[in-house]
Amino acid sequence: MGTKERLVLVTGATGQQGGGAARALLSRGVRVRAFVRDPQGEPAAALRRLGAEVVGGDLGDRASLEAAARGVDAVFSVQPSEGQPQYGVTSDDELRFGKNVADAARAAGARHLVYTSMAGLVPGTGVGHFESKWQIEAYVRSLGVPFTILRPGAFFELLTQPHFYATPGAFTFFYPPAHRIPFIAAADIGAIAAAVFAAPEAFAGRTLELAGDVLTGVEVAAALERATGRPLAYARIPAEALRANPLFERVVEAALKLRVDVDVASLREIHPGLKTFATWLDEGGAARIPPVAPR
């Protein structure tokens, strides 16, 4: 089937991952049906201007998903999680949403389902939104729909949050200084998803760990210092600050036990434009880094 004949349903199409997937697919000439909560909003309008078909619906409403999936060839699945407090969802919600999207893909006879999960995922972490993603992965594998699972690391964009720079002269983050962390640009997740959709037979049944760079906190601070010209040391967020937020404390404890094995060179063969942290900073990321509190 030619590019222009294919139609991909993209959930979360106004978010970072879904938006990246929609734009990457459109740039390849693939038709996109963007599933959004607010079809009248400016983010939806921006997708229309790029050529997407925009449909409104709710991930919790199975009927709206099945209607949106009717006639599509493939589905990109991403859901909000408990780890994103701005969305106000629970881990049970995330699991239900993920199953709804997978069921809609099956009902539509989709020939490929791409689900985005999280890096290094294993069961039994005790963290709700880790467990919900593991259960969605298992459900996707059980359906009989050809699938690919993407497991992205932390977004470079996460590092633009001001609270990481509130300690004078320091970049503060969650992990010990030598702990290696997989990072990726949000747009690169979408670009890799588009490459997967372009070659479904090559990626069917595979789980891909995604990162453009794997860095320690000390290396992140050094790269930030070079890019911004601001002196920056690395500091770990104090234990008492983590204890003040039990969810983050559990997430950090669980994440320290994960071991992510990312083949960045192979990913770059799939997506030659895959960004390192230095590249992301040079291409506009450095301008997004907040001011550092003075010493």
Q: How confident is the model over 162-199, as pLDDT tens digits?
A: 999 999 999 999 999 999 999 999 999 999 999 999 99
pLDDT tens digits, one per residue of 242-269: 888 877 788 888 888 887 889 999 999 9
User: What's the longest Cα–Cα distance across the chain?
Assistant: 60
The Cα–Cα gap between 151 and 206 comes to 11
pLDDT of residue 2 exceeding 60 = no
Burial 9-37 (b: 16+ CB within 10 A, else e): bbbbbbbbbbbbbbbbbbeeebbbbbbbe
Domain segments of the chain: what residues? 3-154+184-211+259-274
pLDDT at 3: 57
Q: What global pTM score does this model have?
A: 0.94
What confidence category does residue 53 fall into, taking pLDDT thresholds of 50, 70 and 90? very high
pLDDT tens digits, one per residue of 207-226: 999 999 999 999 999 999 99
What confidence category does residue 5 fall into, taking pLDDT thresholds of 50, 70 and 90? low
pLDDT at 232: 93
CATH homologous superfamily of domain 3-154+184-211+259-274? NAD(P)-binding Rossmann-like Domain (3.40.50.720)
Average pLDDT, the chain: 93
Tell me the average pLDDT across 114-143. 93
Give the β-pairing of 213-215 and 181-184: antiparallel
